[in-house]
Amino acid sequence: MAISIKSQYEVELMREAGRILALTHDALKKAIKPGITTYDIDRLGEEIIRSYGCIPSFLNYNGYPASICVSINDEVVHGIPSKERFLKEGDIVSLDVGVIYKGYHSDSARTYGVGDISKEAETLIQVTKQCFFEALAVARPGNHIRDIGAAVEAYADKWGYGIVEDLVGHGVGARLHEDPEIPNYVTVRKGPKLKPGMTIAIEPMITAGTYQVRWLEDDWTVVTMDGSLAAHYENTVLITEGEPEILSRADGVDL
């Protein structure tokens, strides 16, 4: 499929989807405490999304059975919420959330510490976030998709971290996953050129150890091969003539 260029009106809808998504993340962040189950997080998330008249993007997507992906410690992405899974002090937890507003998706992810976490875990979370901002800085017309991966790789490498290669960022809009794919590493090909009106989800998935991952028996949960911690940071971004615009944000909510 060709890469879609969004109209002003489509961008307007995606901005609103992104605003609601940011408010949802903000509410979920406040609920992250030892003792809460990943099921509770999913229930709360879906409730908030629907309270804005939106639909959770992930629910039933390729059969995914919940609204929020909740991934703990060595789980990288796509953890399935469960009544038996409790957050505990010292864990790190990644929340990946998507909302549909008037037919348009916004997709973003954050990793949080549960109570006090180790210095190592805190650094991984911060570096993963910075990987996104390194990528954002080169998300400009004239540059190519490869420049995004190169920026993530250069920064993650400085820390000796693993970059997950089996999952990638993506175009986003009327569908959750659109072209192009956006790897978090340097590819042989330059890939498509970035153009104003493209909307993309940039989402580094970084580990404290190996880049290698495997899928659990549930066919969803992706974990690090070596059991090392993983973090995820994602936003939906609009390519403009100048500075890229983060669409998955809201006034008064920290990125």
177: closest CA among 240, 96, 115, 72? 96
Q: How far apart are CA 234 and CA 81, in angstroms?
A: 19
> Looking at beta carbons only, is 90 or 179 nearer to ligand MF3?
179
> Looking at beta carbons only, is 58 or 155 nearer to ligand MF3?
58
- Which residue sits closest to Co ion, CB atoms considered? 201
**3-class secondary structure for 113-130?**
ECCCCCHHHHHHHHHHHH
Q: Which residue in the set 2, 30, 62, 252 belongs to the binding site for ligand MF3 (CB under 6 A)?
A: 62
Which of Co ion, ligand MF3, none sits in contact with 75, Cβ below 5 to 8 A by type?
none
Task: Name residue 205's beta-bridge partners.
Answer: 232
Q: At what angle do helices 8-31 and 38-51 cross, to 10 degrees?
A: 140
Q: Which residue in the set 34, 61, 157, 214 belongs to the binding site for ligand MF3 (CB under 6 A)?
A: 61
Q: How far apart are CA 250 and CA 11, in angstroms?
A: 15
- Concatenating the DSSP letter of every residue in 206-227 gives EESS-S-EEE-TTS--EEETT-
Query: Cβ 160 to ligand MF3, closest distance in Å?
Result: 25
Interface mask toward ligand MF3 for 165-204; x: CB under 6 A: -----x------------------------------x-x-
Interface mask toward ligand MF3 for 71-90; x: CB under 6 A: -------x------------
Which of Co ion, ligand MF3, none sits in contact with 69, Cβ below 5 to 8 A by type?
ligand MF3
Show contacts with Co ion in window 82-141 (CB under 5 A).
107
Does residue 58 touch ligand MF3 according to CB under 6 A? yes
For residue 22, give every residue at least 6 positions away whose Cβ sits within 8 Å of its Cβ, in sequence order, or none.
Answer: 108, 248, 249, 250, 253
- With vertex at residue 77, the alpha carbon angle to CA 74 and CA 80, rounded to the nearest 5 degrees, is 95
Which stretches of the chain bind Co ion, using CB under 5 A?
Answer: 107, 201, 203
